Amino acid sequence: MPDPHPSRRRWPAEPAGGRPDRAAWQAAGVAILGSVMAILDSTVVNVVLQKLTIDFHTSFATVQWVVTGYLLATAMVVPVTAWAGDRFGTTRLYLLAITVFLVGSVLAGAAWSIGSLIAFRVLQGFGGGMLGPAGTTIVVRAAGPQQVGKMMSVLAVPVLLGPISGPILGGWLADLADWRWVFFINVPVGVLAFVLARMVLPKDEPQPAVPFDFLGMLLLSPGLALLLFTAFLATGGVGASVVWLPGALGVVGVVGFLVRATRTRHPLIDLSLFRDRMFTVSVTTLSLFVFGFFGSSILFPAYFLAVRGESTLHTGLLLLPGGLGALLSIPLCGQLADRMNIGRIVLPGLLLILA
């Protein structure tokens, strides 16, 4: 029977003995490099925001758009990556994501005004938004169903440690050199990731793809971006029309997408997946965790810098202990995920977070 997914033929079959083979580990290594860039860059900037207000002679509220613009761009591009990966191939998409991210990093480091920096951060966000989904798809295909838990735990290392190590790296670079190196540091990592991806990832082959849900993209991507935009504006109060108007438009966009997704044959996101109770609970739990984990990675640096008056490097070091537990637990959880009910791992983890 012919393989319905010809672009996957070059992945070696899972080896006997249940251990990921060399190709799987190589794919994980390449994906980790991309994740390191994207995750670090989303957090490393947090500790240099005050320096940006001084250098560009602007307010902290304006400088916050350096972070907000990146997140808005990420929210817009993520829904499209699944279709793009199937249509053009995950390897090509991954290489494109690295290229876009690198160009954005170089331009952000060379920014001449706060407006140009925000614009180049948006470009970075487009690349970073593609890196995560494409890298995850590459690892899942390489690992196979029996070893996906172990390999995904490896891929989770930069996701969990990035918000901890990012402020340390950003503080060290800002104190030792200049805030521009917060962006230039991505260049050697990105070049290495690009070269290795060309060497070890399987070559994509053209394959038919389902029609692109262009209307769904026009509803969902701007809708998510507007909701995220509203969340940032709401920090100063929710009474003004400048806050609730984009929020209302965002709700209309998302609801419109949900209605369309139930009526079209090829929606941008297949909502039928949420009929699976385990899938729905997993996505909800992960989303709540990410909100709290990454939210604290922004709030804590601001508190240490603005309230306690710590240096940028010391601020990063104060955030370090939170990552040590993750570093110790990730390998163990990856082994257990392939052998037991995942709920027995998640529930104790949530209780430890609340503690």
Tokens describing residue 190: 């990105």
- Chain centroid offset of residue 171 CA: 21
Q: Which of 151, 149, 132, 152 is nearest to 40 (CA)?
A: 132
SS3 46: helix
Numbers of helices and strands, H then E, in the chain: 15, 0
pLDDT digits (tens, 9 = 90+) for 118-159: 999 999 999 988 888 888 777 777 766 566 666 666 666 666
Tokens describing residue 301: 């640096």
Average pLDDT over every residue of 258-263: 88
d(CA 155, CA 149): 10
* Residue length of the chain: 355
State the alpha helices, DSSP H only, in 177-276: 181-184, 186-200, 214-233, 241-261
Average pLDDT over every residue of 35-40: 78
pLDDT digits (tens, 9 = 90+) for 181-232: 888 888 888 899 899 888 888 776 656 667 778 888 888 888 888 887 787 7
Domains in the chain (CATH in brackets) are 21-213+264-354 (1.20.1250.20)
Report the percent of the chain where pLDDT is more than 70: 66
d(CA 110, CA 24): 37
Question: Considering the entire predicted model, what is its pTM?
Answer: 0.75
Average pLDDT over every residue of 259-272: 84
